[in-house]
Amino acid sequence: MFLLLQDVPLELRRHIVSISLDGTSATTIIVDRETGEPIWRPFLYNESCPDALPMVKSIAPPNHTVCSGSSTLCKLVEWWNNAGSNQKSALLLHQADWLLWLLHGKLGVSDYNNALKVGYDPEAESYPPWLVSQPYSHLLPSVLAPGTPIASLKEEIANKFGFQKDCVVCTGTTDSIAAFLAACANRPGQAVTSLGSTLAIKLLSNTRIEDSRFGVYSHRLDDKWLVGGASNTGGAVLRQLFTDDQLEKLSEHIDPSKASLLDYYPLPKAGERFPVADPNLAPRLLPRPEDDVEYLHGILESIARIEAKAYSLLKELGATEAKEVLTAGGGSKNEKWTKIRERVLGLPVSRANQTEAAYGAALLAAKGYQQKN
Ligand code: ADP
């Protein structure tokens, strides 16, 4: 963290008026509520706590976001069941909360994006009664909207690194939401498809939808909802078959205005969650035509059909209809694929100008600064 501050060019530091950052969702740190020192090793985002799951399921509403072994609440319960005498003096922070605390020094502040997986209700703007009544509820941090000013940057840090004295530190968000914010999609119906190793979609909606069968849930973004789902199809399958160089060369010969009749379900291994919930769904990549251009065309078109099905499922579940799709990730540079997707989705598709999560966090910092002034 302090190395990163040092990396900011000296002449820029004195112009910085506001700071925010993002962290990995569900990475959890239990600290001492007086000193902020970690009193347990951090729980990483993807760590599962299956022993805690039955207890969490017994208190939370059915299919709630916390009912997954890697949720923050399962990590909290896991710790609570194994903690010794320091249960009373403990406090739970997410990765972003803890890093921000190093900058502003006020312990126990989080944001409603990071707090979703510990059970916070961003609609009611409170922790639900079933959570507040638990013996460990005193560990829960207080929650503000992402991009809310918390306090000034600590004086000793401002002095040491040459930042402004009144530089404000604002609440953060999760890394995937920050990446969405970076794309500057801010109207309901605008969406971002990430074509990396997997295919993930995020859609700004006026309505909140949840369906744990498909792994679909909604994050609050001010007065709107960010609805998301992730398919196991995507670039990982392409990489099993072609090098990035081959992908580029073969794509040049594809005619994107022509529909491919090849119908695949490209998966790196069996199992799909969204837009088809089937843990046994087998990859379908046959028959393979002799011509690799034709094969790649069929695969790219099949992935586009999965993307189209994903957006129509979100609509069926009650989300605002997608009207425009921005694209991030390695697949976004493939212009032929973009054209294929435009035809299959029936929507304008373009590459997002910015996709770095840090850019999204900087937008939150700007929002916090405007709020302060
Ligand atoms: P992640 O961060 O999820 O690992 P990236 O966003 O870095 O993924 O994207 C990498 C993926 O992009 C690879 O799986 C690769 O198959 C895919 N990719 C790379 N070049 C192309 C291309 N020209 N067309 C389509 N997909 C591509």
Question: Quick one: the chain helix, strand, coil %, rounded to 5?
Answer: 40, 20, 40
Q: Does the beta carbon of 266 sit less than 6 angstroms from any atom of ligand 1? A: no
Q: What pLDDT is recorded for position 89?
A: 94
Does residue 325 surpass a pLDDT of 90? yes
Does residue 372 surpass a pLDDT of 90? no
Q: What pLDDT is recorded for position 14?
A: 92
Q: What pLDDT is recorded for position 161?
A: 95
Q: Does the beta carbon of 244 sit less than 6 angstroms from any atom of ligand 1? A: yes
Considering only CA atoms, which residue is closest to atom 15 of ligand 1? 235
Does residue 84 surpass a pLDDT of 80? no
Q: What pLDDT is recorded for position 212?
A: 78
At residue 86 the predicted structure's pLDDT band, cuts being 50, 70 and 90, is confident
Distance between CA atoms of residues 121 and 119, nearest Å: 6
Q: What pLDDT is recorded for position 181?
A: 96
Q: Does the beta carbon of 329 sit less than 6 angstroms from any atom of ligand 1? A: yes
Does residue 158 surpass a pLDDT of 90? yes
Does residue 156 surpass a pLDDT of 90? yes
Most ligand 1 atoms within 8 A of CB, residue of 232, 245, 334, 349 to mutate: 334
Ligand 1 centre distance from Cα of residue 329 (Å):
6
Ligand 1 centre distance from Cα of residue 266 (Å):
14
For the chain, list the strands marked E by DSSP.
Answer: 18-19, 22-23, 28-32, 90-94, 109-111, 142-144, 149-152, 168-170, 173-174, 190-195, 199-205, 217-221, 224-231, 324-328, 349-351
Ligand 1 centre distance from Cα of residue 133 (Å):
46
Q: What are 8-22's pLDDT values in tens digits?
A: 999 999 999 999 999
Q: Does the beta carbon of 335 sit less than 6 angstroms from any atom of ligand 1? A: no
Q: What are 114-141's pLDDT values in tens digits?
A: 999 999 999 999 999 999 999 999 999 9
Q: Does the beta carbon of 197 sit less than 6 angstroms from any atom of ligand 1? A: yes
Q: Does the beta carbon of 249 sit less than 6 angstroms from any atom of ligand 1? A: no
Does residue 1 surpass a pLDDT of 90? no
Does residue 63 surpass a pLDDT of 90? no
Domains of the chain plus CATH, in order, are 2-175+358-372 (3.30.420.40), 185-352 (3.30.420.40)
* Share of residues in the chain with pLDDT > 90 (%): 91
Our separate counts of H helices and E strands in the chain read 13, 15
Q: Over the chain, what is the mean pLDDT?
A: 95
Q: What are 229-259's pLDDT values in tens digits?
A: 999 999 999 999 999 999 999 999 999 999 9
At residue 184 the predicted structure's pLDDT band, cuts being 50, 70 and 90, is very high
Q: What pLDDT is recorded for position 213?
A: 83
* Share of residues in the chain with pLDDT > 70 (%): 100
* Arithmetic mean of pLDDT, 172-179: 94
Does residue 80 surpass a pLDDT of 80? yes
Does residue 299 surpass a pLDDT of 90? yes
Ligand 1 centre distance from Cα of residue 295 (Å):
17
At residue 309 the predicted structure's pLDDT band, cuts being 50, 70 and 90, is very high
Q: Does the beta carbon of 334 sit less than 6 angstroms from any atom of ligand 1? A: yes
